[in-house]
Amino acid sequence: MMPRSKSTLQDLEIEITNVRNEFLKEICEIERESFSAPYPPHIFTVMARETPETFLVAISKQGIVGYVLASLRKDFGHVLSIAVRREFRTRGVGAKLMAEILEVLRRKGIRRVDLEVRTSNHVAQEFYSKLGFREAGLIRKYYSDGEDAVRMSKNLIQEDYVCRTQREKRKPIHRSSQAS
């Protein structure tokens, strides 16, 4: 059997941008098709109004194909939700959304990002692990239907970043152009 050809992220021409009110209808559709207990639409309306800088969407020529929503708690960030339209999954859209939101949080001085994921949601756990999140505990009966959550965490200030920053702080040594 011939392998199924799959369009790449480049083919999709995805653009990541901040949420706007006109995107909310499609975001709620993605939410409904992605979760057994979706957030009600008014949550998205409020978040779009109050914290649009940490509410990002992925847009293709076919419309909105995914979104990610985060919140800030002092120095810590929290990924509240991420979802990609079913037929656009496993093409890198989710990873691109996460890369962008982590960059937004990093620029805001956030040092660590946490999230919760259902113990049964192995795809999402694999997804977050691939992006450098590590398991940080189990929260019993976290969801309204009684399912436990795995808490996952990622440090945004990595050792290599700290080293780079320290290197950049050192004064450069200029050679004299006339040195013999």
Ligand X SMILES: CC(C)(COP(=O)(O)OP(=O)(O)OC[C@H]1O[C@@H](n2cnc3c(N)ncnc32)[C@H](O)[C@@H]1OP(=O)(O)O)[C@@H](O)C(=O)NCCC(=O)NCCS
The contact set with ligand X (CB under 6 A) reads 34, 82-84, 89-95, 117, 121, 123-124, 126-127, 130
Least distance to ligand X from the beta carbon of 94, Å?
A: 2
Amino acid at 153: S
Which of residues 93 and 113 has its CB atom nearest to ligand X in the complex? 93
Least distance to ligand X from the beta carbon of 34, Å?
A: 4
Which of residues 89 and 106 has its CB atom nearest to ligand X in the complex? 89
Which of residues 68 and 156 has its CB atom nearest to ligand X in the complex? 68
Which residues, 6+ apart, have CB-to-CB distance to 1 below 8 Å?
A: none
Question: In the bound complex, which residue of the shown chain has the CB atom lying closest to ligand X?
Answer: 94
Which residues, 6+ apart, have CB-to-CB distance to 165 below 8 Å?
A: none
Across-strand partners of 139?
Answer: 149
Which of residues 7 and 165 has its CB atom nearest to ligand X in the complex? 7
Least distance to ligand X from the beta carbon of 172, Å?
A: 38
CB atoms within 10 A of CB 142: 16
Contact 94, 131 (CB under 8 A): no
Which of residues 51 and 121 has its CB atom nearest to ligand X in the complex? 121
Least distance to ligand X from the beta carbon of 81, Å?
A: 6
DSSP state of 151: E
Least distance to ligand X from the beta carbon of 48, Å?
A: 19
User: For the chain, how are helix, strand and coil distributed in percent, rounded to 5?
Assistant: 40, 30, 35
